[in-house]
Amino acid sequence: MRHTRRPFPKSILSILIVGLMALIIYRFVQPALTKDLNNFAEPKPNPLDSAAATTSISTATSTSAAALAATTITTNLSTQDESYVLIDPQSTAILKSSNADVQRAPASTTKLLTGLIALKTLKDTDIVCVGKEVTIDGSRLGLSPGDEISVNDLLTALFVHSANDAAAALAVKISGSIPAFAEEMNKYAAELGCQHSHFTNPHGLPDPEHYTTANDLSRIANVFLKNDQLMTFVKKTSARVQWKDARGMVHSAKVNNTNSLIGVYPGDQGLKTGTTTEAGQCLVSYVTRSDGDLLLVLLGSKQRYADTIKLLDEGWAEQRSYTALRDLAKDPRSLNLSPGIY
């Protein structure tokens, strides 16, 4: 009896061809798309978060965590000593991390917690009469004792310009003193599940007893990004702030965002920068796109923008690969509909 060979099933052949196409596209096209961003120039760090601005205010899906954790990508970061955690903020799944429970100085990323407490207690229309607490080092708006300013303008200065005097003014308005406000910070952080943090001030200026971890800070940041009112401040590239001095004279100033990735890295929604000699360069980033969201906490970097771009790019690549392969198993035609593949 003569046997005829069965033709190779077209459906299987289609899956193999499409899968090969996906691998080629991911291997060769994706790096080209992000080449320019990976060459992003890192500015020189300042000794205190935008300390040069002390006298000049215009200076500028729930995915499988196990599957992603199993994907090892060698990342050449500016230093292997830095701490970071990359999470899916929707599921809180950790996608990538290093030294995430090491206690470190957080610099001005501290102000994320300060803002959360401020809006728990104050209205943005409240007026604050500031005292001696605004005589402080580092990045400042330029407030003097006796000045009056709204909570809205203080929050603008806090998150756009990273103003330390704005942080101090909010703290004293809320709790009466910096130490009393620090107690409130530690209490609220503990409620959020921060087990390895301790705060002594609202701005992040160096103190041996002021520290957090990348994991703890990610818990604070994940709550922050769900607050629509606070998110309006961190997204602004610039803003104008107004206040009155003790004589009733009106002062107005333009402030520029200290986060250089806003408007540069696609989907970047901001959050918070931080730099001191003790802390190194810190950056908390929230990025949202059609194919998902990512939250990255980076502490102790030497080149925060270049490191952030590398880690976020790897996060997107892993998310897209996982989604594409998952959908491909269901329907070979899904490759054409996967966002970010081409």
Which domains, from first to last, does the chain contain?
44-303 (3.40.710.10)
- Sign of the Cα torsion 34, 162, 234, 196 reads positive
Q: What is the pLDDT of residue 317?
A: 86
- The separation between CA 110 and the C-alpha centre of its own chain, rounded to angstroms, equals 12
Question: Quick one: which H or E segment has residue 232?
Answer: helix 228-234
- Phi-psi group of 255: left, alpha or beta (phi > 0 → left; psi -120 to 50 → alpha; rest → beta): beta
Question: Quick one: which H or E segment has residue 240?
Answer: strand 238-244
CA neighbor of 95 nearest in space, from 118, 145, 119, 61: 61
Q: How far apart are CA 114 and CA 159, in angstroms?
A: 10
Contact 73, 314 (CB under 8 A): yes
As averages over each run of 10 residues, the pLDDT of the chain (342 residues) reads 52 57 51 46 46 38 39 68 94 94 98 97 96 96 97 98 98 98 98 97 98 98 97 96 96 95 94 97 94 94 96 86 58 54 38
Q: What is the pLDDT of residue 72?
A: 42
Q: What is the pLDDT of residue 9?
A: 56
Total-model pTM: 0.77
Q: How far apart are CA 287 and CA 122, in angstroms?
A: 28
Question: Quick one: which H or E segment has residue 314?
Answer: helix 304-330
